[in-house]
Amino acid sequence: MRTAALLVLLPVFALAQNEHAIRGRKSKPMPIQDDTAVVAPALERYAQGPLVELWKRPGLTPRDRSVVTLAALIARNQTVEMPHYFEAALESGVKPREISEIITHLAFYAGWGNAMSAVELVKPVFAARSIGADQLPAASPALLPLDQDAEQKRAAAVEQQFGKVAPGIVQYTTDVLFRDLWLRPGLAPRDRSLVTVSALIANGQAAQIPYHLNRAMDNGLTQEQAAEVITHLAFYAGWPNAFSALQVAKDVFEKRVK
């Protein structure tokens, strides 16, 4: 049985247990009260109260909350919780190809090692559900159309600022990230932005948030949803990281109104 104190952090998984049972799958019980209370009864109380309520808030769909949570866990390499949240994400409508793309995307935005840890933990989840290559994205698919004007402006700005400092990373940023990774069709642009913003907030990288939050909102993320992402991540990445993101988000929101 997995560490029970961490199992409490999956309020939606109880619903998944019922759905598993209906389809005849074997499911492990959720020993929330018995195991957690003997270690941290206050944690169990908060898990049964505010955390459960968080997942019911209307600002984000359960699917979006699953995407945000997975991004935070992978970015922070919090491996113990991942298998349960991979299961919950699939139950809430996140497709296997989207989970695959989330992991691939975060190799670049949270580090290769963190992505590889996630790969190892999602393998048995996929195997148990008979998820094979036919449900995963192609290694080299036809890419989405490139917004030439926006990309030229981005590339020029980065080149002007950092081209003489580290030309290698500037070139990789253009060729690998923005003209390849960001154009992969396995994850919608809005969701790719949602993953990126969530990872940046979760790791406290406030300096990178303005560009990507603006990009996320250009890709369809609303101000209400962006605010709810920060609220959700207060629980999964900590209040300090959430409040660091709040000031950045406030500035972004105010400038977009003007």
For 163-220, the pLDDT digits (tens) are 999 999 999 999 999 999 999 999 999 999 999 999 999 999 999 999 999 999 999 9
Q: For the chain, give the percent of residues with pLDDT over 70.
A: 86
Count of CA atoms in the C-beta half-sphere (13 A) of 57? 19
- What is the model's pLDDT at position 168? 98
Where would I find the beta strands (DSSP E) of the chain? none
Indicate if the pLDDT at residue 27 is higher than 60. no
* DSSP one-letter code for 133: G
Torsion sign over Cα 13, 19, 25, 26? positive
Report which residue type is found at 137. Answer: P
Question: What's the angle, vertex CA 160, arms to CA 154 and CA 166, rounded to 5?
Answer: 100
Report which residue type is found at 69. Answer: T
- Determine which of 18-27, 111-120, 132-141, 178-187 has the lowest per-residue pLDDT on average: 18-27
Instruction: Give pLDDT tens digits for 76-99.
Output: 999 999 999 999 999 999 999 999
Determine the average pLDDT of the residues in 228-247: 98
> Greatest CA span in the chain, whole angstroms?
60
Indicate if the pLDDT at residue 24 is higher than 80. no
Distance CA 73, CA 121 (A): 12
- What is the model's pLDDT at position 35? 76
Indicate if the pLDDT at residue 11 is higher than 90. no
**Is 66 exposed, middle or buried, given 0-12, 13-18 or 19+ CB atoms closer than 10 A?**
buried
Kindly report the pTM of this predicted structure: 0.87
Indicate if the pLDDT at residue 39 is higher than 70. yes
